[in-house]
Structure 1
């Protein structure tokens, strides 16, 4: 079948693309036939063949089903009737024999039933006698044999029977019965055999009819197939070659050969198709010329758009630098001034300036971020970061704002799943900050909860961060405006709350760029829930250090009127092994304790209806059974009067990190459980605000104001500073001197920051300094250039003191950094406790440690003197345990954890086996270390109450 188109192709020269020779099957000059005419003959042949087959099948059906089928059915019925007749005769004979032998009337019942059945069967047999004369004769003989048995034996026997004891007469009568009945049986068997023979003949005839019909059908089908094959060949010769020609022309046009044309041959329809293909080729040739012209225009327009985009990018970088540079000076010098002695009015004005500057910076950041997204410059990093750490950092950053608005800012992290992921942590932080900031802004009362959940599978974490608030809510008809740029839900919200309307738009685009999205569920007047759903790869697992924050064995009383916060605190503490007893308020807590519930530590909320936490603490201190119960205050208030936390052993601000909560509870539980006294360790210690060592810092900055600001920052942070005005001077300074850190501005005269960084990395130095790029640029290309040049990190203008301190702490605390000669942080004091006590204010902070320092030597001397007494009782107020107990409490409260542990060992000493010599030596050594540490701490704070080394006090929330 494929020979025809091939032969046709070979008959046409390959170079002839304009026309095709007419097919030999069609006479030259004849009108082309329509395709339906060409298809008619195969169709008629096929219809004829189908008709013949159908008629054959119909005849077979008529012959086999009504005629032969009925005949076979009749013979089957006759066989069953003969069988039923035989059974009826047997019933008659059996019943009569039984009656003859026993003379019991009950044996006549089978006989009578057989007579009735036989009458019915005889009537049925009589209806078939006309179908076959021979068979009718057989049936007549059968009827005659039955009548003879009935007349010659049955009726005489029923008329008179021999006596019961006459065996001879009885045997003769039974012999007569057997002879007559056997004759009936023989005739019945012959009749049944005749019926079987006729049935077998009908079956054979039926099979013969089926075979004949099948042969007729096969023969008809073969004939039709042969005719169809011939018709198809003729049709193929007239249709396939011109169709192939059209196909080849279309393939050539699709491949780009717009000069190829199809020959117009074959049926009328195929000629029209070929003409249409040729017209298409002409149109494509014209369109190709038009497209080439337009493509040249588009290339020119694209080049113009790229030049415009480059100009926009350059404008964005320039404006970022020009705006951030003066703003850096405004915010930085405001921070410096706030760290000096000021009047209340001056401080208020400067705080207003700082707040306005922060608002302006936030606005600039939003606009620049939005511009980067619109320009396609949003590049995401892929580095490991901790989801939980980001969430708590944002919560603690915004906790003062929430507290000032009277809100509880809570964090709820579900489970202990892996939270170390790979992604852009700074961008995720930006999204969380925007969502939490909005929630705090639009919530006047109640709480804001950050709820983090996640499911890890196949090396990825599907995490969901929900920010739930009890704010004003959003109506359904306004939700579509949420993620629009420069838009809020309505004009009244904009007037009441302010804002550019860019935060949510930027957050959504960042979330989508990270492969996730933001969903909103809100109810007007009830609150809103914004959920960020991300699917991030898990970071490689880092083995944990042995935990020193375990709370196993401790029973904790947790009191809070908020069910949400109560659940969160229970979850955080239970993760560390504590057993939590929950109370929804002060009265409920007192009722639990009155019932004899024993607890090791009580964790109390401050502001509760009916009974505040400080009132509950006073009640607990007044009770004999709970006077010494360690109490931990968890409060949303940033600042509190000293009298409100006077009865507490420790104070934490919401939201509190689970690790810090566990460490605090463990530290205050030193009394009462040996595990608490022995499990404090050094795990989780943080550096004090004073630097671990003073760094030599080179500031490369061409702007005099910014250079002055950096110098003030570094001086307040306890570091030494040298200033140069351009990149070339920076390279010379590093070559001549020794510097730990270089703060490198990006845009400087003579030699730019990138070039200067690359030049410093090429210098033959024994130790390369840490180089931080200080830039106002928001473009990823500028950051990439600095990284390729050898920079270690970035500081974005405007720089705040806390940001600079964190960057320099990475140097001072780095394990690769050389050990400096300056004294390190006072290890005898727990940095976490010291940082908490700074919340009291500088004056109260200095007063506490001064008073503790003045009583420390006397307290230790009293313990040593009591130990020298020949005999004493544990109940004596001047005994070693009682004196050690007093010193332990004050030492633990002020962070002297090691000294408190020594006092605890003395508190439990047995006077009968007094062996405290070694312990007293350790006590004196720890006293000396604590005295040195407190003296250095007070010297750093200074007479004015301000920590000179730390600058403005930084409070961790």
Structure 2
């Protein structure tokens, strides 16, 4: 290859370079070559114009013609240029190569024309590509033609000039094609022709420039043996022949292009004429259609100009307004308008034309119009605008809405009628409910009283059936009322702080008997990450859960019912301070088909008709549950298969209370890491209890039965890792729980140290006395009643293992030892509340101490100045002078600096204890006062503390824990009727199990606290937060003393809010909760201990303890009755004498009037008596007041 290139570009002839043959040019032939090239280029460019508009087949023909014209022009220019060049040697041409040299020019021309002949805009890249192809084609043609020369010389090339020749061709071709591109943007025909001529000239220059540059690159050397070549024709003749060929070809091509242009123009004219004719036809058809629409449209169409003159008037407008077109066209549109629009319309138009501010245009609105008859009618109007030349036109679409307005009024009247009917229905339901509930309350009350009276077994069963039927009917009525509220949109959701465990426990308490009767297992599983203190509506939350659980019990014959609560994090991130919970109730009952599931959550629908017949119910519970869940920001659903049970679920978005705490953090240090064994045959229950214990940092192992538990215990002892506590189910197949306790204790007999530390908790769904006694004899420390929740489980584990808080003062010393320690001690008790004074006096006197009472801090300072005391028990909040002030003053006296002072307060917060210590007190005793803690504290600070002897006599049931002892012993009547509202066992324990003293405390609590909720509300209304806090503080201590735990907790929350200075809706909600808890506690007291007559002045509380229940109440002197009060009492007396259940509704409804007539204590007696359907006692109270009024009037 290199040798071949050397042979082309390096001189090979011997001799000096001055031997090079020098040629010469004929000028007119050089000029002729340029003209031929330019003319051929012009023809090709004209063909390029045809390419952009021609059809595909014609485009191919035009491309071939253009390629031939341009290629022939290049070829002709080359040979004319060669003929213009004369050498001093013979020259001839090879016919084959000469013809072949036509092809490169034609091919390059075809590609270039194809690129520039496209219809879209020519970019620089396409121009550059075309120029390169064109330059390459010109070069290829030239050098192919040079190769066709047959000369008596040796031809060589200068490489630099060869490259330059190609560059010249490419650059000039680019310039030419760029100029050609200008013809696309030239608008005038002359401009396009001029641009095309310039492009042709430059292209001709490109061809000739390349040729003559390439000829300059050619070097001719004499041949070693020259041949004699004879030309066939003279150069001039050949040149003329080539010119004739090239010009003829270009001329023919140009003529064809011009002819094609004319044909296309004619065709375009024909098409344009056809198109315009079609457009005219379409326009006429469109006009006809528009006219048809204009004539037939229901809405009126009115066109006006900018002066308000009507230009067009549709038939519909004529029907609407009553005017014909001849009466309106040409007139001002204001004739269609009533005042004030009639006079102001032209001003509206001028304002729009001046400012462009549109008030109606483009905006549909309702207005009024005036018919020809003068009638004013409502219409809808929308206006559009269009500018035609210099004139602005406005078209209005008018619709008569008279009929629609009439229908709308009728619909509104129908809606009002429907609302009235709905209200009437709701009122009817409420009235029917009232009328049904009144005798139903009597039925339930009387059945309850009958069951408590001595009756034969068959009669007792009949009364129980009446009671159950009444309760079932009451539940149905409640469902109907709730559904009525749902329909009326009057069902409200509260947002108050709630205890999730308490809600679940209340639900469990209401179904536990039915669960036990069917032998089912009820499991409650709360996720470890679920906060227990929430903000929501506990009543409605419990209502949904109770509905689900009750249905599960109803449709489940065997197996278990599991209630689970989990965080629902998959539903999106809740707002800060809130949590979305997923509640589910799963049963192992009959299950539901897909068809049956589709009918659920619909009013009055159950699974199927047979379900309603077999199980009863209204079919409203799930509807109400769905609505309640939606109101709490959640949803409901069910998953079920026939025969596989069902899972009913709902979600709710609830607030997280500020008091919510982490369960692990709440676990006492002494419990963390303890080893626990859970013995339970039910897998779900065992898993739930194990998970709860693990969340409290216990090490947990599970066992499915007694034998497995014994094996696990034996393995733990062998490994040196004995269990610290065992939770064991009572009823298990094979070995029951109590037998398992005995078997495990036997394994520990050889290890007394481990046995002493081992605690047992019996878990059972039954809490009867027989179980309590059996458990106590077996050495069970605690008893848990299913279902178990985390708080109950933690408390039970703490008590069983003897783990107490840092503030507790544990002591189990027997009474004899306590008496020996405290006898003769002089103790000053500074306490303002009489009830607490009685408690302290009784507790201290019973162990031989000598208590002295001071009603406030100032009196306590006086007593301390008058005589010596061994100890002071100081309440922190008292009138006149509080405890903190009093202790600061007494510490200022040198003789009292060492006197032990123990604070007594219901505030058990760390900052309260620190305030006591900072003031100079020695220790702190939390209310309600526990006797054991009181005695231990007094003995400790009076210097008489002693170690309790071994084998404490307090354990009278084989070493059982105190909680088991008290439960096994039971609560004596009448305190067993206090119910869950008041923990009678705890209250009795605080007064050393003295029934008379405890009864006195309950009576006094009722008398002193009955109106405390009203007093609190009055103080808050007056803005006296300090007074309200004192009232609440007193109520908190007293309620805790008698065992009213719920009331004490509510009072504590309210006191904390008042102390923080909080007012408003949150405090009002706490006051409402306090009032509800107070009423429940008072009702429990009234239920257990009917109110007795007021004591005569000077009679002690102890003197009245033996007054028989039901004794009519005595009355303080009251003013004479008004006529209205006397009429009310006589009406009530008539109802009571007739045993009419309307009395049960009258008493609370006329409560304020009756209280004013009877006095607070007598009214309380009346309300309690009527509330328990003791109409005889209520009648006695009423008649006594009437008799007293008659006597007073006679005197």
The change in CA–CA distance for 1:883 and 1:65 in structure 2 (over 3 A counts) is farther
| Aligned position for 1:934 | 993
> Which of 472, 477, 496 is the equivalent residue of 1:364?
477
Residue correspondences, number: 581
Q: Does 1:458 align with 2:575?
A: yes
Cα distance in structure 2, aligned partners of 1:198 and 1:891: 121
8 Å CA contact 1:558–1:604 kept in 2: the answer is yes
Cα distance in structure 1, aligned partners of 2:714 and 2:601: 54
Cα distance in structure 1, aligned partners of 2:714 and 2:414: 84
**After the TM superposition, which residues 120-519 of structure 1 pair with which residues of structure 2 at under 5 Å, given as runs?**
135=143, 188-190=156-158, 192-193=159-160, 195-220=162-187, 251=361, 254-256=364-366, 281=398, 284-285=399-400, 288-454=401-567, 455=569, 457-459=574-576, 460-519=578-637
8 Å CA contact 1:829–1:896 kept in 2: the answer is no
Question: What whole-Å deviation, never above 9, does each CA across 1:345-377 have from its counterpart, x for those lacking one?
Answer: 443333222212211110110111112222332
The change in CA–CA distance for 1:632 and 1:195 in structure 2 (over 3 A counts) is same
> Which of 921, 930, 939 is the equivalent residue of 1:827?
930
What is the deviation of 1:450?
0.7
8 Å CA contact 2:501–2:791 kept in 1: the answer is no
| Aligned position for 1:772 | none
Cα distance in structure 1, aligned partners of 2:673 and 2:172: 99
What is the deviation of 1:666?
1.6
Q: Say which SS state the counterpart of residue 531 (structure 1) adopts.
A: strand
Cα distance in structure 2, aligned partners of 1:221 and 1:566: 99
| Aligned position for 1:718 | none
Q: Does 1:663 align with 2:795?
A: yes
8 Å CA contact 1:940–1:949 kept in 2: the answer is no
| Aligned position for 2:640 | 522
Cα distance in structure 2, aligned partners of 1:621 and 1:479: 51
Q: Does 1:892 align with 2:1002?
A: no
What is the deviation of 1:336?
4.2
8 Å CA contact 1:392–1:411 kept in 2: the answer is no
Q: Say which SS state the counterpart of residue 536 (structure 1) adopts.
A: strand
What is the deviation of 1:890?
3.6
Cα distance in structure 2, aligned partners of 1:601 and 1:263: 88
8 Å CA contact 2:534–2:656 kept in 1: the answer is yes
The change in CA–CA distance for 1:425 and 1:593 in structure 2 (over 3 A counts) is closer
Q: Identify which range, 646-655 or 421-430, moves more after superposition.
A: 421-430
8 Å CA contact 2:713–2:744 kept in 1: the answer is no
8 Å CA contact 1:828–1:896 kept in 2: the answer is no
| Aligned position for 1:631 | 760
> Which of 754, 757, 782 is the equivalent residue of 1:650?
782
Q: Say which SS state the counterpart of residue 208 (structure 1) adopts.
A: helix
The change in CA–CA distance for 1:349 and 1:679 in structure 2 (over 3 A counts) is farther
Cα distance in structure 2, aligned partners of 1:405 and 1:893: 32
8 Å CA contact 1:53–1:221 kept in 2: the answer is no
Question: What whole-Å deviation, never above 9, does each CA across 1:500-555 have from its counterpart, x for those lacking one?
Answer: 22211221222223332211000111110011022334444567998475521321
Cα distance in structure 1, aligned partners of 2:560 and 2:483: 30
Cα distance in structure 2, aligned partners of 1:881 and 1:554: 26
Cα distance in structure 2, aligned partners of 1:373 and 1:263: 48
8 Å CA contact 1:481–1:488 kept in 2: the answer is yes
| Greater RCO (Cα-Cα under 8 Å, separation 6 or more) | 1
| Aligned position for 1:925 | none
8 Å CA contact 1:56–1:216 kept in 2: the answer is no
8 Å CA contact 1:650–1:664 kept in 2: the answer is yes
| Aligned position for 1:170 | none
| Aligned position for 1:563 | 683
Q: Does 1:616 align with 2:740?
A: yes
Question: What whole-Å deviation, never above 9, does each CA across 1:764-788 have from its counterpart, x for those lacking one?
Answer: xx9xxxxxxxxxxxxxxxxxxxxxx
Which ranges of structure 2 fall in alignment gaps of 5 or more residues? 1-48, 76-95, 105-139, 192-274, 295-300, 306-311, 313-359, 370-380, 811-832, 836-878, 880-905, 909-926, 934-943, 967-987, 1001-1082, 1090-1195
8 Å CA contact 1:410–1:565 kept in 2: the answer is yes
Cα distance in structure 2, aligned partners of 1:195 and 1:69: 22
Cα distance in structure 2, aligned partners of 1:428 and 1:505: 14
What is the deviation of 1:261?
10
Question: What whole-Å deviation, never above 9, does each CA across 1:27-51 have from its counterpart, x for those lacking one?
Answer: xxxxxxxxxxxxxxxxxxxxxxx99
| Aligned position for 1:603 | 727
8 Å CA contact 1:549–1:659 kept in 2: the answer is no
Cα distance in structure 2, aligned partners of 1:142 and 1:458: 98
Q: Say which SS state the counterpart of residue 310 (structure 1) adopts.
A: helix
| Aligned position for 1:585 | 705
Question: What whole-Å deviation, never above 9, does each CA across 1:809-857 have from its counterpart, x for those lacking one?
Answer: xxxx999xxxxxxxx9772489xxxxxxxxxxxxxxxxxxxxxxxxxxx
Cα distance in structure 2, aligned partners of 1:552 and 1:419: 20
Choose 1 or 2 for highest CA Rg. 2
Q: Say which SS state the counterpart of residue 377 (structure 1) adopts.
A: coil
**After the TM superposition, which residues 101-120 of structure 1 pair with which residues of structure 2 at under 5 Å, given as runs?**
none
Cα distance in structure 2, aligned partners of 1:298 and 1:531: 40
Cα distance in structure 2, aligned partners of 1:427 and 1:521: 23
Tell me how large the CA RMSD over aligned residues is.
5.7
Q: Say which SS state the counterpart of residue 491 (structure 2) adopts.
A: coil
What is the deviation of 1:499?
1.6
What is the deviation of 1:140?
8.2
Q: TM-score, structure 2 length as denominator?
A: 0.42
Cα distance in structure 1, aligned partners of 2:385 and 2:688: 84
8 Å CA contact 1:68–1:202 kept in 2: the answer is no
Cα distance in structure 2, aligned partners of 1:394 and 1:433: 6
The change in CA–CA distance for 1:657 and 1:889 in structure 2 (over 3 A counts) is farther
8 Å CA contact 2:50–2:62 kept in 1: the answer is no
